[in-house]
Structure 1
Amino acid sequence: MDPVTASLIVLAMIAVGEVVSIWTKAKVPTLLVVMILIFTGFKTGIVPANIIEASTFAIVGSLLQPILLVHMGTLIPMKVMKSQYKAVLITLIGLVCCVALILAIVPIFFDYSTAVAGAGPLTGGLIAYLITAEALQKAGLAGLAAIPVIVLTLQGLVGMPLTAIFLRKHALKLRRTMDAGTFAAAGVAYADQEDLVEKEEETAKRSLIPEKFQQSSFILLFLIFIGGAVAVWLQNLTGVNYSLWGLAIGIIGAYFGFYPQNVLEKANGFSIAMVGLVFLVLASLASITVQQILSVLPAVAAIIIAGTIGLVIGGFIGSKIFKWDPYKGIPVVLTAMFGFPGDYLVSQEVSRSIGRTKEEEEKILGEILPPMLIGGFTSVTIASVVIASILIKTI
């Protein structure tokens, strides 16, 4: 099969997954739909087992992994992180409790490697999965490869409904304070247009790269590849995974103005990079059998249950420490299970269903959306990569 046709078939499945996700308002994740379609295609013979290899797109995903990590480091402005520091810290407490509970409970019934195989992906997204899957292959534990991919696809089905339940309870409390006339904005609401312009001007002032050069996608790609190459070089030099170096380079580069915020999106390369990662994930399904999936389902269930309980406990503890309503803190931590755009969509749906007027909707959304977004970014973008990178060294 030629590369263009092979890529077209897989992209058609991804498009179907996107349609289902949009139609269900992200309740059914895109990745779950795509994996069901391609796995069914592999096992029935409708889709050739070498279609990912034939497409050559997985090579793009491998090449752009370090680049994506640099990009991830540029996603959250330091100013926003500081303003929402409680959301960041509560999320980190939740992730620590999640990993601790998985590592404490799962090995009792299975083994330590099984626990590690699921812990990284449960705390984040695609990058954490890829780091874990690569480490399992190198450690000769290919039999566990089905665990992280199934955890990755199923965790959102548990996380999003649970988040909505807790967040609705918090929104109802907010509505009662409005009725009582005691409502006061507790967080930093999402920026209005004036704030955005002000932040852009601040970024432009301290940028090391002149604005006119930042308009070129080629120059921005070159700068991102510098960061990715340095991350890989530092891994070879220190033995510390390039994922951590890539994040650090992105964060530091954005702070000092070497990179603009959301650098890969400004370079018009983010969508292609993400598609490349999806192809990498799908490539692992070709060698996984139905028997392997059935054999690891009990372990996956244990990982998701233990991890979810850990996130809830951590969110509760963090909320008590920082004097937040637990119904606000727990959903912020649970964003680790689905990230963006799920965190945005859940916040929007809750505010729309609880707010009785447009004004109430906006007030509720202004309270719940910023910490939810920051929680998702903290876990999926940064913390999960760090956790996965550390855990793989222990197997």
Structure 2
Amino acid sequence: MEPIYAAAIILAFIALGELVSIWSKARVPGLLVAMLGAFVFAQLGLIPTDTVDQSLLTQVYVILVGPLLFHMGSLIPLRTMLQQWRSVVIALAGMLGAVLLLAATIIPLFSFEHFVAGAGPLAGGIVSTGLTTQGLTAAEVSTAIIVLPSLVLMMQSLPAMPLTNFLLRRYALSLRESGELTRLATEAQHVDTTTKKKLVTLPDSLAGNELFVLFLILVGGSVATLLAGPTNIPSSIIALLLGIASTAIGLTPERAMEKSSSFGIAMAGVVAIVIAPLLTASLADVLAALVPMVAILLIGGTGILLGGLIATKLLRWRPMLGMSVALTAMYGFPADYLLTNEVARSTGRTDEERQQLTDAMLPAMLVGGFTSVSAGSVVIASILVSFL
């Protein structure tokens, strides 16, 4: 098969998932549709099991995974993260609770490889799933374990999103009835507007040039790969840190990969890596992974809630908001944005009240989602895969 035909087939499943996600307002995860569709078509013999390899998207992933993680570090300004430090702490505590509880239960019940396969994807999103899948494949574990990260990623948002909706709704109603809404909305919305000169100021002609920005993030990914050897630190973690530092000093713009118009193809490579095991897996392999998947979702979700609740209590935050922030690890953006807006729209009685509810909840939810899905889960997956 010509690579362009294979790539078009894989992108067709991804596009279908995006359409369903938009139509359902993120209630049905796009990745669930894409992965399930590809698996069914492969089982029916309608597409070759090596479609991902023939599409050459795995090579795209190999080239762009470092730059993609560098880009992840540029998503939210460091100052915003510092202002929302409680959200960062709660999100990290939720992930830590999940990892510890999974280690204590999944390793004795199944194996260390099952624990690694579930912990990274559960505590984050597709990038950590791609790293985990790649590590498991390199370690030559059984196919039933290699498909586990994809299954966890497919299903993790289904229990988490309704629970978040319930928790956020209770929080919003308590704010509305207690009279605290105006004060909390003002505090959450407040941003330090003082301008601080950055160490590096790129001319607009360069900062807005797609090819030059792409060059910068490729250099960032290359440096991370170069430093990984002598430091023994996974290149994914180094790339993430370099992205945060480079954006903070002004060397690269925020949301760098989007500015270079290369984010879409990079994500297509990541999705292809995650879909690939499902194409080659048998129905027996998937069925064998179902019980570990359910255990990981239940136990890991409980760990996220417990870790988030403990951190919330220590920080003297409202438990309903704190646990919602912790749960963003199981779905991330844009679901965190859509859920918050849906709750604000349905519980606010006036336009002003709806805006105040959004201002009181949205910054914490967005920063929590970034901390877990974009940053924390990458660190967790990188560390755990190194022990395989």
Q: What residue identity is the alignment partner of 1:249?
A: L
1:251 equivalent to 2:244? Answer: yes
CA 1:288 to 1:4, structure 2 compared with 1: closer, same or farther past 3 Å?
A: same
> Which residue matches 1:56?
56
> Which residue matches 2:176?
175
> Which residue matches 2:159?
158
> Which residue matches 1:286?
279
Give the 5 Å matches for 1:380-391: 380-391=373-384
Shift of 1:58: 2.4
Equivalent pairs, count: 387
> Which residue matches 2:88?
88
Q: What residue identity is the alignment partner of 1:288?
A: A
CA 1:45 to 1:188, structure 2 compared with 1: closer, same or farther past 3 Å?
A: farther
> Which residue matches 2:184?
185
Distance 1:223 1:371 in 2: 30
Selected match of 1:267 from 260, 265, 268: 260
1:354 equivalent to 2:344? Answer: no
> Which residue matches 1:11?
11
Q: Deviations over 1:299-357 (max 9, x none)?
A: 11111101100111111111111111100000000000000000000001000111111
Distance 1:157 1:59 in 2: 31
Shift >6 Å, 4+ stretches: none
Q: Deviations over 1:177-221 (max 9, x none)?
A: 23xx77412675458xxx79x68x757x54342222112111111
**Gap runs ≥5 in structure 1:** none
Selected match of 2:234 from 235, 241, 247: 241
Distance 2:349 2:343 in 1: 11
CA 1:19 to 1:175, structure 2 compared with 1: closer, same or farther past 3 Å?
A: same
Distance 2:73 2:142 in 1: 30
CA 1:182 to 1:172, structure 2 compared with 1: closer, same or farther past 3 Å?
A: closer
The DSSP-based 3-state class of the residue aligned with 2:386 is helix
The DSSP-based 3-state class of the residue aligned with 1:394 is coil
Q: What residue identity is the alignment partner of 1:281?
A: V
Q: What residue identity is the alignment partner of 1:96?
A: L
CA 1:217 to 1:85, structure 2 compared with 1: closer, same or farther past 3 Å?
A: same
Q: Deviations over 1:18-56 (max 9, x none)?
A: 111111111111110011111111110111222222222
Distance 2:316 2:333 in 1: 26
Q: What residue identity is the alignment partner of 1:151?
A: V
Shift of 1:147: 1.0
> Which residue matches 1:393?
386
Q: What residue identity is the alignment partner of 2:184?
A: A
Give the 5 Å matches for 1:343-382: 343-382=336-375
Work out whether residues 121 and 148 of structure 1, in 8 Å CA contact, stay in contact via their aligned partners in 2: yes
Q: What residue identity is the alignment partner of 1:244?
A: I
Distance 2:29 2:181 in 1: 38
Work out whether residues 146 and 293 of structure 1, in 8 Å CA contact, stay in contact via their aligned partners in 2: yes
Work out whether residues 58 and 283 of structure 1, in 8 Å CA contact, stay in contact via their aligned partners in 2: no
Work out whether residues 187 and 370 of structure 1, in 8 Å CA contact, stay in contact via their aligned partners in 2: no
Distance 1:116 1:135 in 2: 10
The DSSP-based 3-state class of the residue aligned with 1:176 is helix
Work out whether residues 95 and 372 of structure 2, in 8 Å CA contact, stay in contact via their aligned partners in 1: yes
Selected match of 1:333 from 295, 310, 326: 326
Q: What residue identity is the alignment partner of 1:262?
A: R
Distance 1:45 1:19 in 2: 24
Which TM-score applies when normalising by structure 1? 0.94
1:34 equivalent to 2:34? Answer: yes
Instruction: Please say which of residues 52-61 and 328-337 is displaced more in the overlay.
Output: 52-61
The DSSP-based 3-state class of the residue aligned with 2:156 is helix
Shift of 1:361: 0.5
> Which residue matches 2:146?
145
**Gap runs ≥5 in structure 2:** none
> Which residue matches 1:217?
210
Work out whether residues 101 and 306 of structure 1, in 8 Å CA contact, stay in contact via their aligned partners in 2: yes
Distance 1:114 1:317 in 2: 27
Distance 2:122 2:255 in 1: 24
Work out whether residues 124 and 384 of structure 1, in 8 Å CA contact, stay in contact via their aligned partners in 2: yes
Instruction: Please say which of residues 346-355 and 272-281 is displaced more in the overlay.
Output: 272-281
Q: What residue identity is the alignment partner of 1:49?
A: T
The DSSP-based 3-state class of the residue aligned with 2:26 is coil
Instruction: Please say which of residues 1-10 and 316-325 is displaced more in the overlay.
Output: 1-10
The DSSP-based 3-state class of the residue aligned with 1:25 is coil
Identical-residue share of aligned pairs (%): 40
Q: Deviations over 1:285-306 (max 9, x none)?
A: 2221110111111111111101
CA 1:182 to 1:280, structure 2 compared with 1: closer, same or farther past 3 Å?
A: closer
Shift of 1:96: 0.7
> Which residue matches 2:47?
47
Distance 1:123 1:344 in 2: 18
The DSSP-based 3-state class of the residue aligned with 1:258 is coil
Shift of 1:127: 1.6
Distance 1:263 1:150 in 2: 30
The DSSP-based 3-state class of the residue aligned with 1:223 is helix
Work out whether residues 181 and 356 of structure 2, in 8 Å CA contact, stay in contact via their aligned partners in 1: no
> Which residue matches 1:308?
301
The DSSP-based 3-state class of the residue aligned with 1:316 is helix
CA 1:137 to 1:3, structure 2 compared with 1: closer, same or farther past 3 Å?
A: closer
